[in-house]
Structure 1
Amino acid sequence: MTDDLRREMLNTMVLIRVYEEAILREYHADKGPGFDIGKGLVPGEMHLSAGQEPVAAGLGPHLTREDALTATHRPHHVAIAKGVRLREMTAEIFGRETGLGHGRGGHMHLFDPVTHFSCSGIIAEGLPPALGQAFAFQRRGTDRVAVAVTGEGAANQGAFHESLNLAALWKLPVVFVVEDNEWGISVPRAQSTSVSSNAVRGAAYGIPGIRVEENSVEGVYEAAGEAIARARAGDGPSLIEVHTLRLWGHFEGDAQGYRTDLEGVPGRDPLPTYRHALTAAGIITEADYSAMQASATALVEDAIDFAKESPLPNPAEALDYVFAEGARS
């Protein structure tokens, strides 16, 4: 692992955090008086990924634009790492006509055919589509891979187990990544999951399973590198679980009264942890970090401005871009 790569991963983590902080700011700017989830520039629910940046930053360097990635209702970090266009993604979050889905989908339904990225608000929904993409890649004789990122709660869904079984049976080029942020909405994983690590579930389907501890971006990079190389070589699927962190609430407006670990959460923030590690190793300077923040801020504020200046969809065209158009057999 080179120093340039380490700087690249930190830079990706900084961009993700700056983006999420900006969305947080805009989301809450006009939700009052009180808190009305339907009001404001960004109406509807909002699930932010602050704290989970290492998963995205560790995966991103291994993926090409032609590889596929599916994500969850908390998708912005992996979308950014996959190269989804910030302007169009932000416009979609704001419900604008210039968005990825012409403002029809919002932040939980981001679809970008340019980078082969998609996500959904349905738990474990992204695994079967990743399976289908991997099947297509295999049938076409390519070395492209599909990655399905999901949460630890989804590992108890039927779609998770069905997907692992079929992927193993057909030896598909797919990697399953479970983000264990310790909470399925308000339920701690110990109260919902019978195993201490979902990585052990790979053994039931005859595929490798590994758990990355301590929210380590370098650990994710190494595990993902092995799994993706294995998939490209035609050796079948792998399962990776990352012990990560949900720094903020399940959704914006979540009072988190159920959460017993809040006091220690800031100290586990992966961004200052990795920044200090690279600074101590002489890989970056404080000036380098400031430059990363400035660059990220410029990109993000440009995307926010683009979204705000973009038109709202015409209500008379509400069904456009929702259903496939053209001749049907």
Structure 2
Amino acid sequence: MAEKVIRDLYDEVGIVKPKLLEHCPLKLREKSRVNIFALGDVGTTVLIGLRLMGGDVISSIGIYDINNANLQRLEMEMNQIRVPFEGDENSMPQVSVIAEEELFDCDVLVFCASKGVPGIGVEGDVRMAQLEANKEIISNCGDLAKAAGFQGMVCVVSDPVDPLCKALLQSSGLDPAQIQGYGLGVMNARALYYAGHDNRFVAYATKGRAFGPHGHDLVIADNVENYDDSLSRELTALAIDANMKVRDLGYKPYIAPALSSAAISILMTMRGQWHYSSLYFGDGTSGAFLGMKNIMTQTGPEYENIKLDEKLFKRIRKAYINLCVL
């Protein structure tokens, strides 16, 4: 098989005329208005991260949730996080409560809504268990985006990230470049964590990559320049099972995902920096959102289209095809 690149995935599922990502929905490196939909454990942690780290690219943060008492509490607590003698240039963005009809009165919407999060002790891929319930919520959100004529960007954080991005695209009529899924950042971070504990994976820190969904079909490559399939699959398994290690201790593993996948990666997107998120690979009818290293530019999202080892490409192809049928 000739050397493959990510773009060759289109041929694997017979997509002849892909929808190109040729639109930038952001004011790169300028201050934008951000709204967060749902302030549970994940949404609240995302809010903390964006307020603490986002002063250079966020002017304000609107918060919406069905729990009004929680919103009032967060408005007070977030705005009471202050740096003494803080200047104005990169000051923390003000947090305010918004109504549902104001959700899309912003430049960036962060979707953290989730229904039926599996409790501690539930076995299997808990992310996929949330698909149907969360699909209904995000489809309703898509209707609101369509009605508002939304021109900005939607960042999908809720599980399962990639199928929910697809559901939003289908319901909203948004341009594919306006939607990105934020689940892969923490899988990269988990791979880095385990690589830091085992010298066999040392190359991952500088030459490794993460591809695919935030879940079962994750693809971790130990070294894209000198790929080792066995080591890569071992590191992949460690990254996939990392959330269950936290659950085994009696806790829900939401802190690292909310910060690594969402807050940090969303800010890097807004700053025009390389990051991990899911982009649309399809023609509007067939296709899926797939996670990879990418960057937002003035002309739209661009992904790293490096040459891939045959075994590595086959793993990414399998993940993509499985996402296409969801």
- TM-score normalised by length of structure 2: 0.28
Using the size of structure 1 for normalisation, the TM-score is 0.28
The structure that is strand-richer by fraction is: 2
